[in-house]
Every structure is written in structure tokens, then in C-alpha cells.
């Protein structure tokens, strides 16, 4: 189980540090046992990363970025490299979020290049896939997700389950308050699991497949109870430490004792 927060372009630096401190305090207060079987991560804006990695250094909350450039370094004004991320304390990076695909024109080929680059620096990519409402209504959701997986993972090696995380994020559920039903999520997660198994064999059985799209503390339990939903990529609700940790508690409750 993994609960990861995607802060998107929210919080200024003092606000982001305060949120990270609140998370650290919440994890410490809950005690070691509370989240022992759940991995936690936050993906703040770039500017916050190093400071937040410091704040979270002594608690089991990993730090990830929301994007990375596919090139090693050079004349790419405004871009951030994988080496910059690792040197700032990141272990994870979100790639191919639908907001980047839609608002910044990222293609499957771009996403694939970012995954390769992230992996070559030891960053675990959190690959986002998901369909629009029109694609779902037309009965094409499965085909869209398969195509996104194919475009992003073609030629990529996954030797252990820790090499990759996938997040299924139906676009119609992101930031809308409308959540996929647990059944809709499970159906797509099972499809993703089968696709990964065909591609990578045994390690795919333990690759985390997160659900994202208006996951909140009131609906997280039903989603996380599904066998192939092994965590969440949480946007809005990750901006409040208590809400985020409540979702993590629901994840912990699903892990067999
Ligand atoms: P949301 O965002 O939880 O606010 O819907 C999820 C995401 O986009 O990762």
C-alpha cells in the first residue's frame, strides 16, 4: 500500500513547510505501528522539495516531484533534471499526469522518455494513466489506458516491483469531487495488473497500482478494499494533513495483520 500526495501548484514555501511539519507531527503522534504497512509520500512543488526533504528526514514519508525533464542537463530554461531531484532528496517522481498531458502537450513518447530518465537516476516513476469522460462514455476507457501503458512502457525494464508505480486517474474524477466507484476502479486496476504481468512477468504482481481522482477520507476505504487498488494518489485531500493521514489509516486497515 502506498498513499502519495500530489500537491500540484498549491502552497507557497512557508505554507508547504508548515504542511510537511503537520504531516511529520501527525505521523509521530500516531506512532510507529500506525503506518507500518503503508508507504507514505508527498509530491510538493519543486521549490519546496529540499526544504521538505529536511523536514521529513526523520519520519517515514518519502518525497517525490511532480515532473522531470527527460534530458540529463543543458540549455532547457525552466526545466528540472532527475539529478537535481535526487540531490534535493527525492525518491519518486510523477510522470504523465493528465494535467501535464492536457495543458502542456506531453505525449506518450515524452512520458516514456521521462520514465527512462527517472529510472536511470534511481527515481521511482509514478506513471499516471486515465481516460476522459467522453472516452469512457464511448466505451473506449480500457483501450485508452492500454494505449497509454504501451506508449509509456514499451522497451522499459521492470525487474522488481519497486521499479515502477502506476496510478489510474480517470480524468473525469480529478478535482471534480466525482469518484470512480470501487467497482469501476477495480475493473481498470485489474486490467492494468494484467497488462503489467504480460509485459514484466512476476514482478508485476507486486507493483503498486494507485487510484487517483477525488480520493477523500470518506470514500477511501471502499476504493482501497479492492484487491488491485493498492494505494492512492491524492490531490486536494493531501493539502490537509489530517485528511491525508486519515486516508493512510484506511490504507493501513486494509493490510492483513
Ligand atoms: P484530486 O487529484 O484528488 O484532487 O482529484 C488527484 C490527482 O490529480 O492526482
Residue 257's pLDDT is 63
The answer to whether the beta carbons of residues 145 and 129 sit under 8 Å apart is yes
CA distance 197 to 200: 5
| Beta carbons within 8 Å of 111's beta carbon, 6+ residues apart | 95, 96, 101, 127, 148, 151, 152
Q: Is the shortest distance between the CB of 64 and ligand 1 below 6 Å?
A: no
CA–centroid distance, 17 to ligand 1, in Å, is 20
Distance 189 CA to ligand 1 centre (A): 17
Among 99, 106, 131, 169, the one annotated catalytic: 169
Q: How far apart are CA 62 and CA 124, in angstroms?
A: 11
Ligand 1 centre from 209 Cα, in Å?
A: 15
- Alpha carbon distance 30, 36 (integer Å): 11
The answer to whether the beta carbons of residues 6 and 94 sit under 8 Å apart is yes
Instruction: Let me know if 121 is a catalytic residue.
Output: no
70 vs 121: CA distance, rounded Å: 11
Tell me how many helices (H) and strands (E) the chain has: 10, 8
Q: Which residues of the chain have pLDDT under 50?
A: none
**Grid cell locating 57:** 528526514
Cβ of 176: how many Cβ atoms within 10 Å?
A: 12
Q: At a CB cut-off of 8 Å and minimum separation 6, what does 201 contact?
A: none
Q: Which three cell numbers stand for residue 35?
A: 503506518
Summarize pLDDT for 179-190 with one digit per residue, the tens.
999 999 999 999
Most informative mutation of 175, 176, 209, 237 for ligand 1 (most atoms within 8 A of CB) = 175
What per-residue confidence (pLDDT) applies to 137?
96
Question: What pLDDT, on a 0 to 100 scale, did the predictor assign at position 256?
Answer: 73
Distance, in Å, from the CA atom of 167 to the CA atom of 2, rounded to the nearest integer, reads 11
Give residue 113's pLDDT: 98
**Phi and psi of 165, rounded to 5°?**
-130, 140
Which residue's C-alpha comes closest to atom 2 of ligand 1? 235
Which residue puts its alpha carbon closest to atom 1 of ligand 1? 235
At residue 200, the pLDDT reads: 97
| CA–CA distance, 202 with 158 (Å, rounded to integer) | 10
Determine if ligand 1 sits within 6 Å of the CB of residue 131. no
Calpha distance 78→98 (Å, rounded): 20
Residue given cell 494533513 in the structure block: 241
Q: Which atom of ligand 1 is nearest to the CA of 238?
A: 3
- 75 CA to centre of ligand 1 in angstroms: 32
Using CA atoms, how far apart are residues 237 and 251, in angstroms rounded to an integer? 15
User: Would you say the CB of residue 215 lies under 6 angstroms from ligand 1?
Assistant: yes
234 lines ligand 1 (CB under 6 A): yes
- Cβ atoms of 164 and 123 within 8 Å: the answer is no
Ligand 1 contact via 175 beta carbon (within 6 Å): yes
Does the Cβ of 26 fall within 6 Å of ligand 1?
Answer: no
Q: What is the pTM of this model?
A: 0.97
Amino acid at each position: 500500500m502506498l498513499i502519495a500526495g500530489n500537491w500540484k501548484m498549491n502552497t507557497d514555501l512557508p505554507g508547504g513547510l508548515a504542511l510537511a511539519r503537520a504531516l511529520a507531527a501527525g505521523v509521530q503522534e500516531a506512532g510507529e505501528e500506525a503506518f507500518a504497512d503503508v508507504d507514505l509520500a508527498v509530491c510538493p512543488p519543486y521549490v519546496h522539495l529540499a526544504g521538505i526533504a529536511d523536514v521529513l528526514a526523520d519520519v517515514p514519508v518519502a518525497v517525490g516531484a511532480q515532473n522531470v525533464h527527460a534530458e540529463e542537463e543543458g540549455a532547457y530554461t525552466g526545466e528540472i533534471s532527475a539529478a537535481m531531484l535526487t540531490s534535493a532528496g527525492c525518491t519518486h517522481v510523477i510522470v504523465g499526469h493528465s494535467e501535464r498531458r492536457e495543458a502542456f502537450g506531453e505525449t506518450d513518447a515524452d512520458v516514456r522518455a521521462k520514465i527512462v530518465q527517472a529510472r536511470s537516476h534511481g527515481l521511482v516513476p509514478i506513471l499516471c494513466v486515465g481516460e476522459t469522460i467522453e472516452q469512457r462514455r464511448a466505451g473506449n476507457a480500457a483501450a485508452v489506458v492500454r494505449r497509454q501503458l504501451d506508449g509509456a512502457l514499451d522497451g522499459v525494464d521492470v525487474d522488481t516491483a519497486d521499479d515502477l508505480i502506476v496510478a489510474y486517474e480517470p480524468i473525469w474524477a480529478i478535482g471534480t469531487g466525482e469518484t470512480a466507484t470501487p467497482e469501476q476502479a477495480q475493473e481498470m486496476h485489474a486490467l492494468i495488473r494484467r497488462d503489467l504481468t504480460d509485459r514484466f512477468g512476476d514482478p508485476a504482481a507486486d507493483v503498486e497500482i494507485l487510484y487517483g481522482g477525488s480520493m477523500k477520507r470518506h470514500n477511501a476505504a471502499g476504493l482501497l478494499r479492492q484487491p488491485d487498488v493498492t494505494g492512492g494518489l491524492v490531490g486536494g485531500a493531501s493539502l490537509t494533513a489530517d485528511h491525508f493521514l486519515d486516508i493512510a489509516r484506511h490504507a493501513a486497515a486494509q493490510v492483513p495483520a
